[in-house]
Amino acid sequence: MTGASEDQALTYAAAGWPVFPTRPNREHRPEPGRCPCKAPVTRNGFKDATTDPAVIRAWWARFADLNVAIATGAPGPDVLDVDVHQDGVGWPAFNRLKRAAMLAGARALVRTPSGGLHVHFAGTGQDCGRLPRHHLDFKAAGGYVLAPPSVVHGKPYELLDHRAATARLDWQAVRRLLDPPAAAPALRRPGGSPAALVAWVVEREVRSPKKLPGALREPGVQVPPRTHMTSS
């Protein structure tokens, strides 16, 4: 007879999501800030993730009461992790993304033990990322998430919704929306001497080399000031 976590691990694997086992539930955090409760029990962690039913059954036969984790990034899912911590919550950022229609087409919604949310999307080759100021994590290639019916500190991961969706989350677009790059200060065209004008032209070239003639893009070329102007 198999347990619930083993059955679900086999279900995830049958859907093409590589899985591996993590430590069993512990009711209490052993040390504040240091919690091994989500740690893999396999030697190589998420690198051991598999869809092979025989390997999965062997893991659960060897260890009791295991939690189940999914390796993120294709062929597994990409997951937006909305954190809820004592130092802040990710809901304001989540709502901004939702209003921007960037979360449409999610495949699954999972409530985490802390009261946060895992939003599952189709997997890609994107790297994992973090936006600590917004309390968001992005789990993709090289990452993993615990999944239902796993339990940590006595609280479960709960599936809230599941859909036959295939949308992908563009993490770089998320970053641009929530943490846009600072705009470079505009260059003011100077008045006065020809030398000041030359310095202004050279600085423009450094910032926007395609806007100047080819001769000015050659390193070390100095632009001589005009001493007089002729009419045409």
Instruction: Give the CATH number, domain containing residue 86.
Output: 3.30.2250
Query: What tokens appear for 1 in the block?
Result: 């007879």
Do 210 and 169 belong to one domain? no
pLDDT tens for 187-227 read 565 666 777 767 767 776 666 655 444 443 444 444 444 44
Q: Which domain holds residue 229?
A: 184-232
Q: What angle do CA 206, 210, 216 make, to 5 degrees?
A: 65
How is residue 213 annotated by DSSP? Answer: -
Residues 70 and 131 in one domain: yes
Question: Looking at residues 149-167, what average pLDDT do you find?
Answer: 94
**Mean local confidence (pLDDT), 157-163:** 96
Which of 163, 178, 193 delimits the end of a domain? 178
63 shares its domain with 161: yes
Residue pair 119/79 in contact (Cβ under 8 Å)? The answer is yes
What is the CA 190 to chain-centroid distance, rounded?
44
The Cα–Cα gap between 119 and 163 comes to 12
pLDDT in tens, 8-51: 999 999 999 999 999 988 765 555 555 677 899 999 999 999 99
Nearest to 119 by CA among 93, 149, 80: 80
Listed range (74-78, 112-116, 180-184) with the worst mean pLDDT: 180-184
pLDDT of residue 63: 85
What pLDDT does residue 223 have? 40
Q: What is the pLDDT of residue 232?
A: 40
Model confidence, pTM: 0.76
Sequence length of the chain is 232
Whether residues 162 and 195 fall in one domain: no
pLDDT at residue 213, rounded to an integer: 46
State whether 123 and 208 are in the same domain. no
Cross-strand partners of 31: 34
Whether 97 and 154 share a structural domain: yes
